[in-house]
Amino acid sequence: MAEGDGSGKNRPRLALHVPEPKYRPGDVADFSHLDIPPAGKQKRPDEACAAADTNPLCTDLIRVLGDDDQAHGPWDPRLSADKMRAILRDMALVRIFDERMYRGQRQGKTSFYMKCIGEEATSVAAAHALAFDDMVFPSYRQQGVLMVRDYPLIEMINQIYSNKADKLKGRQLPIMYSSREHSFFSISGNLATQYPQAVGWAMASAMQGDSRIAATWMGEGSTAEGDFHSALTFAAVYNAPTIFNVVNNQWAISSFSGFAGAERTTFAARAIGYGIAGLRVDGNDALAVYAAQLWAADRARSNDGPTLIEFFTYRAEGHSTSDDPSAYRSAQEQNEWPLGDPITRLKNHLIAIGEWSDEQHDAMDKELDEKVRAATKEAEKNGILGHGLHHPFKTMFEDVFEELPWHLKEQSEQAIRERELKWPK
């Protein structure tokens, strides 16, 4: 048959590649294939460097805390012991809060909850590196940012319970907080929307000659959304003062990170294609997280451009209370994860330098547990799921229009009237 006749009979058959995680339920987990470099070996370029100077850091892994529990290398932020204890305390508070709210969901007090166990440093340490009024555009596992900014725990619990004291009036899924006063943008259940919103806010801040920057978070699975790429394009073109945090916890609900491109390269490496700075960071090392976030914040504040940071970490438990990770991944993975636990690592560092002890840590945990318990009891007085203590039905029609249009006013009056007839009490 003549060459080039279009039949293709002599050509190899095409095939697609379907990503597959290395370990499924019942498998023995082994992370020896991961390249974990020694702590302190990564170079730290100046914050005002050319974006290309960070390219090697997009495939490396910035680490500060070593196996000897000491801080190493140029990325060591050299924090005071008081500052490190504050970060440790906030991470511990997040974990204790998560455990209490998880139990509350299992007891039927709320419909839904999402833990961030194993990922606390990616929000807490990062928030400590930002200015209080820097605008945060979170995903749904950044409750640590609110706690760092001293948002009242009772207000968080009221929102989780959607009770009569919920400032969001039951309109948001539990854990999707919002606080203008704490520069914390409303969490959205629609993945990746916060990225272009963060860029737009950052551009507006720059246009007004303000000094505040924007920081946003998403999981690695969400980087497959179009909003991720639109945001990076705008930020790169206009030099928007934005920090893009990607929390690579290896799993997006039940699909592993390969479906978002992790088999090809790192998520931080996407910065290279956009011509912006990129950093890949040990997400379980609170000091490395702090240092990277501060570097990116200083860079953005000096008009040197946006930064994409990949926090390499692990989701220790289910995606949410609606998820059973034992159905899709090896039960051994959590224990075999080579980067350890962020709370334990910072605790051990403080002990190693003589600034902490096991007894102090136990006392802190007990104090925080009592604090969360007290806030929970107080919030439960305002109602829990299904107990009828919620916002009045009429509030369903409020807070959207300054003046309610006539047709919605008629509908609201009809709905309220019908409700009063059916349930007069």
List, for residues 363-382, the tens digit of each pLDDT value.
999 999 999 999 999 999 99
Does 119 map to a domain? yes
Q: What is the pLDDT of residues 192-246, one digit of tens each?
A: 999 999 999 999 999 999 999 999 999 999 999 999 999 999 999 999 999 999 9
Same domain (yes/no): 276, 399: no
Q: Are residues 297 and 412 in the same domain?
A: no
31 domain residue, yes or no: no
Mean pLDDT score of the chain = 95
Angle at CA 295, nearest 5°, toward 356 and 92?
A: 30
Helical pair 153-161 and 81-106, crossing angle rounded to 10 deg: 20
What is the average pLDDT across 389-401? 85
pLDDT at 391: 86
Compute the Cα dihedral for 97, 100, 106, 111 and give only its sign. Answer: negative
Domain-located, residue 196: yes
pLDDT of residue 3: 57
Query: Do 113 and 190 fall into the same domain?
Result: yes
Phi/psi at 397 (nearest 5 deg)? Answer: -105, 10
Pair (118, 248) in one structural domain:
yes
How many angstroms separate the Cα of 335 from the Cα of each of 18, 61, 390, 421?
Answer: 27, 21, 41, 57
Of the candidates 217, 170, 157, 169, the residue with the CA atom closest to the CA atom of residue 193: 217
Rounded mean pLDDT, 351-359 = 98
Question: Taken in order 144, 150, 151, 156, is the CA torsion positive or negative?
Answer: positive
Residues 6+ apart with CB under 8 A from 340: 284
Same domain, 402 and 362: no
Domain that holds residue 411: 393-422
Confidence label for 420 from pLDDT (cuts 50, 70 and 90): confident
Here the CATH number for the domain that contains residue 259 is 3.40.50.970
pLDDT digits (tens, 9 = 90+) for 246-265: 999 999 988 999 999 999 99
Q: Are residues 399 and 371 in the same domain?
A: no
What is the pLDDT, as a whole number, of residue 419? 85
Q: Is 371 in the same domain as 412? A: no
Position 77, amino acid: P
256 with 404, same domain: the answer is: no
In order of 147, 150, 156, 266, the CA distances from 380 in angstroms are 20, 20, 12, 44
Are 221 and 267 part of one and the same domain?
yes
297-332 b/e with 16+ CB inside 10 Å = b?
bbbbeeebbbbbbbbbbbbbbbbbbebebeebbbee
| Strands 214-219 and 242-248, bridge-based pairing | parallel
Rounded-to-integer distance, Cα 408 and Cα 411, Å: 5
User: What does the alpha-carbon distance between residue 349 and residue 322 come to, in Å, rounded to a whole number?
Assistant: 35
For residues 415 and 300, state if they share a domain.
Answer: no
Residues 100, 240, single domain; the answer is yes
- Residues 2-31, mean pLDDT to the nearest whole number: 86
- Position 1 pLDDT exceeds 60: no
C-alpha–C-alpha distance, residues 338 and 361, integer Å: 23
Give domain status of residue 43, yes or no. Answer: no
The full DSSP string for 5-44 is SS--TTSPPP-------S--TTSPP--TTS--PPTT-S--
Residue 33 falls inside a structural domain: no
Both 290 and 186 in one domain: the answer is yes
- Any domain includes 32: no
In a domain, 215, yes or no: yes
Q: Does any domain span residue 368? A: yes
Domain count, the chain: 2
Q: pLDDT grade, residue 388 (50/70/90)?
A: confident
Angle (CA) 341 342 348, round 5° = 90
Which conformational region is residue 206 in: left (phi greater than 0), alpha (psi within -120 to 50 degrees), or beta? alpha
pLDDT band at 6 (very low <50, low <70, confident <90, very high): low
